[in-house]
Amino acid sequence: MYRAETACSVRYPQTPTLVIDLAQRSAALERPSEGTHVQALRDRLALTEIVLGPDDGADDDLLLVYRTVGAADLGAGAILFRRALDAGDIVHPPALRSLAQVLFDTLRTEEPNAPLMAHVAMALRAIVPGPLRDDPGAVRGGLANWQERRALAFMEQRLDQSFPVSDVADVCGLSVNHFSRAFRRSLGKPPHRWLLDRRIDRARELLQTTPLPLADIALACGFAEQSHFTRVFTRLVGMPPGAWRRASE
């Protein structure tokens, strides 16, 4: 019927990519090319693969990517529709087969109907289980595993920067409120507290392994002023950063 597997196990050098923006209800077809968005899916998302029956004149597979507006990269997941040489043993839900066939027929036209593809893709997304819904390792009500990895990586790479939580929510394809609730359920603390704790951990690493002055360490850990850094460090660690450095020598 259909199965989920990691994107890196799939080979699709000639696969057209249909990118659907769920928030804007728009669609854009990207032809195969070097550096295509397909590569961005590797090692990030599970890929739901649906094998369809053979159909003369339809030899192109279709990779459907669905995401939310504002995401820094491909955010939500993907569905790969693949033609089978022998589909005698394959049984599909009628609605899935019908909707998938509409997408293939539209792709074969000279000017694919983007609004139609968007509507069909959203209908498919509603009936096909994907990585966001079927994530056995995820905490119930929390972030999916790929969302947690992406959120933590996003913040880890920006420990020295100031950014709103909405930026992190965007890369996970969630609203700010939904993301904050799910993050706390998965990590046991809200996003701003996780980030603050990680910045202090980084500060301790720099205090112990480098001769950098406190002002530089404060900037490297996302604090605009040394005085703010000192207050936060003292509150969380129990002593000022200078005293902690001397004690750790």
List the chain domain ranges.
Answer: 2-127, 145-188, 193-248
**How far is residue 148's CA from residue 31's CA, in Å, rounded to a whole number?**
30
Written as tens digits, the pLDDT of the chain (249 aa) is 333 333 333 343 456 777 777 666 777 777 665 444 555 544 444 566 677 766 655 556 777 777 654 444 444 567 777 766 555 445 556 677 778 878 877 877 777 787 888 888 877 776 665 444 445 555 667 888 888 888 999 999 999 999 999 999 988 888 888 899 999 999 999 999 999 999 999 999 999 999 999 999 999 999 999 999 999 999 999 999 999 999 988
Pick one of 1.10.10.60, 3.50.50.60, 3.30.420.40, 3.40.1130.10 as the CATH number of 193-248.
Answer: 1.10.10.60
Record the pTM. Answer: 0.49
Which amino acid, residue 135?
A: D
